[in-house]
A and B are shown apart, each in its own frame.
Chain A
Amino acid sequence: MRVLLCAVFLSLSFSGYTQGKSFFKESKLSGSLETNNQYYIDNKRGNILAPTKRFASNTYLNANYQYKGFRAGIQFEGYNPALQGFPTRYEGNKLVRRFIRFTNKRIDIHVGNFFEQFGNGLIFRAFEERSLGLDNNIDGVGIRFTPIKSIKLKVIAGRPRTFMERSPGEVMGGDIEWSPLNREENGKTQLLQVGASYVKRFMRYYGADPNFPQQVNAIAARFNGEYNSINFSGEWVHKSIEANFPNDFIKKKGLILFLKTGWQDPANRLGLQLQFRRLENADYKGNFNSSDAVASINYTPALTRQHTNLLANIYPHAIQPIGEIGGMADFFIRFKKNTPLGGKYGTRLDINYSNYHALDSTRVTTGEGFISKKIIAFGKTKLFRDFNLIIDKRWTKDYKTLLTFINLFYNRTILQGGPYGEVRATLVVTDHYIKIKKNHQLRINAEHMWVNSDEKNWAGLLTEWSFPNGLSLFVSDMTNYQTYKMHYYNIGFALSKNKQRIQLSAGQQRAGLLCVGGICRFVPSYNGFSLNYTLNL
């Protein structure tokens, strides 16, 4: 199959030469290369020892071809070996993705490896997040069909990717979405969409339990809409009994409930968003034996603010798919220019609050592990709370600041697993953007975090100088100056030129949860050099 697909790409590419300019006008040939390399050295003072193989490299090479409605592509990946923190099952070099796709106005057929999402992804999402080593693309067939403008159908069947192989579990499903209202006039949107999904997973079980659920069925119903300045959406997912490694093989049904609503002033002066979500045995596994997020076929990210500061991500929320209830509120207000609070350039105030608890549940000795009778009831165990606000203010044409305040509660015992206790932290961050001269910018980010336990207080500093030729120089350090007194520093440069970007740095990475795009994985500490290169062809 692989050889056949590659041969098709090559023959189509070469045929392009023979058919002259008109072919090239309609053709698109493109590719990309991304390579991330690290060299590890010992830091005996910090008790950080380099792995046996001091050099590690993750490389991704893509090639895509398009001719009118026809597309084909391949992705090659190399882990020689995988970077520290990536699952060790990413190893070797392999063509991990190849596909052929045909699209016209009504139908979109995907054969080979493809990505897809039903609704909000709570029942099914195949996606790629390289920085976390996540890629659960489906190897099979995916069809999107639009019989009439207001109705969209999707069907998928295949096996999700698990590391360098395919999951032993098979996934099949379908989704329908109907848009009875779809109007946009004078900048006002009136939209209503309703949808439903079904996803089945079958994986053969070879153990001794005659009642083990080899087949798991999930159904979902959802709505999404906007009426002038108000938006609203929701999704409900029900899953039949699923037993898997992360839930200790309890035999329990799954439930996900998600609700969202918001209002935004048409003049964008202020707005409010509210989200609520309840998870119960919510992790839907493509492989019931896998403990890693890599094998999930649905997507339940942490609904919290994605902080981008040095220190705030020391304590990120790690969702508890076995049982969690909570939500997030977002509020913003924009003070106009030439007002007392806005000043000459205007001021932005952005406030965010999220709070999550375990479910209100009772342990039982039957196979389902626990029961939680009330749908909307917060358990006594607090998991995570984050209150934060950002004031974004330009003072002069050449100077702008961002002031961030964060107060968080982090139940380390549950979120990291172990007898660690609870963490309460308060963080203040000041970000300064200073224009030194035309197109030269200096950014200074200074942070301090007060922590009541764990490694106690932290301080952090980052400076970055950007030049107009695409070069950036940066140096950063974060240190827990009260306990281990370790410095986690990073110094280097990045250069972007046209379709290329290269970054070289040296430093020390702190062990902890690395969270990108709402998913977290634990990364070990390392000390060494890092070289990243990307190229678009």
Chain B
Amino acid sequence: MRSLLFILLFIPLTTLAQEKFPAVTIKSIAGKEISTATFQDNEAPLVISFWATWCKPCLQELDAFNELTETWKKETPARIIAISIDDSRTAAGIKKTAGLHDWSFEVFWDENQDLKRALNISLIPHTLVIDKKGLIIKRYTAYVPGNEDKILALLKTL
């Protein structure tokens, strides 16, 4: 009961601050460590999509992003980054899936889901739109066709 009381007191505070994208160490597909702090260059907004090789809606969303890459490039400097949460069971499939789908954006690996946890993500696909200052402007907690158009419209305003 005491624990619940503390949390109920704490949760409302979270609504008062705009969320910053955290700096967490993740990996390249090959296994090289990289900090997510390096994603931000203060010049381009980011679209960060969490996915896994076994998640069909995730693949559908990333394919939709991939098909629109050329259009997006003309309209926004935004970078698209796909972060896999596959564990060692399916991790060998990350490079394969990115190759099979011929994705033109960068793909990284959140090996033990440290970044997913830091962002309080429960389910995937989960997509974040982040402004040039590193603030999370929007979260998409599922993929429905058309999300890519909404994201592009939002990116144009950033």
Contacts and interface: CB of A to CB of B under 8 A. Distances in A.
Interface of A: 2-3, 6, 9-10, 13-14, 16, 24, 26-32, 34, 60-64, 66, 71, 74, 76, 93-95, 103, 115-117, 120-122, 125, 127-128, 130, 152, 179, 182, 184, 189, 191, 193, 224, 226, 231, 233, 260, 262, 264-265, 268, 271, 273, 275, 299, 301-303, 306, 308, 328, 330, 332, 334, 346, 348, 350, 392, 433, 435, 438-441, 466-468, 470-472, 494, 496, 498-501, 517-518, 534, 536-537
Interface residues of B, number: 62
Contacts of B111: 117
B92 A330 contact: yes
A466 B145 CA distance: 7
B3 A468 contact: no
A299 B87 contact: yes
Given A66-B20, A226-B31, 17 more contacts: A10-B9, A30-B19, A31-B10, A31-B120, A63-B14, A74-B6, A115-B113, A127-B113, A224-B31, A264-B99, A271-B96, A433-B60, A439-B145, A441-B145, A467-B144, A472-B142, A472-B144
B128 to A, nearest CB: 10
12 contacts: A30-B19, A115-B113, A117-B111, A130-B122, A184-B32, A191-B30, A226-B31, A231-B95, A302-B89, A308-B56, A435-B145, A534-B122
B92 to A, nearest CB: 5
B22 A28 contact: yes
A64 B118 contact: yes
B60, B139, B146: which has the most chain A beta carbons within 10 Å?
B146
Nearest to B118: A64
Interface string B36-66: 0000000000000000011110001000000
A13 B54 CA distance: 39
Contacts of B123: 501, 534
A117 B145 CA distance: 36
B54 A306 contact: yes
- What are the 3 closest A-B residue pairs judged by CB atoms, nearest first? A439-B146, A518-B89, A32-B120
Contacts of A128: 113, 117
Contact of A76 (B7, B95, B102, B112): B7
Interface of B: 1-4, 6-7, 9-11, 13-20, 22-23, 28, 30-33, 53-56, 60, 87-90, 92-93, 95-96, 98-102, 111-114, 117-123, 138-142, 144-146, 149
Nearest to B17: A29
A112 to B, nearest CB: 14
Contacts of A501: 123, 141-142
A306 B94 CA distance: 13
B17 A24 contact: yes
A264 B99 CA distance: 8
A10 B140 contact: no
Contacts of B22: 28, 66, 71
A14, A93, A496: which has the most chain B beta carbons within 10 Å?
A496
Contacts of A2: 3
A32 B31 contact: no
B92 A466 contact: no
A299 B112 CA distance: 11
Contact of A63 (B7, B20, B28, B88): B7
A494 B19 CA distance: 26
Contacts of B120: 30-32, 62, 64, 536-537
A231 B99 contact: no
Contacts of B118: 64, 71
Contacts of A76: 3-4, 7
Contacts of A275: 92
Nearest to A235: B88
Given A264-B96, A271-B96, A28 B17 contact: yes
B86 to A, nearest CB: 9
Contacts of A536: 119-121, 139, 141
B87 A264 contact: no
A440 B14 contact: no
Given A64-B120, A306-B54, A332 B92 contact: no
A115 B117 contact: yes
Contacts of B92: 260, 262, 273, 275, 328, 330
A215 B30 CA distance: 35
Given A66-B22, A262-B92, A517-B89, A268 B102 contact: yes
Given A127-B112, A130-B122, A466-B144, A95 B30 contact: no
A334 B99 contact: yes
Given A30-B14, A268-B102, A152 B19 contact: no
A350 B87 contact: no
Contacts of A117: 111-112
Contacts of A537: 11, 14-15, 120
Nearest to A516: B54
A468 B145 contact: yes
A436 to B, nearest CB: 10
A302 B87 CA distance: 11
A19 B12 CA distance: 19
A193 B96 contact: no
Contacts of B88: 120-122, 299, 301, 518
Contact of B139 (A64, A120, A127, A498): A498
Contacts of B100: 268, 271, 332, 334, 348, 350, 392
A380 to B, nearest CB: 26
A518 B145 CA distance: 29
A271 B139 contact: no
A531 to B, nearest CB: 15
Contacts of A468: 144-146
B54 to A, nearest CB: 4
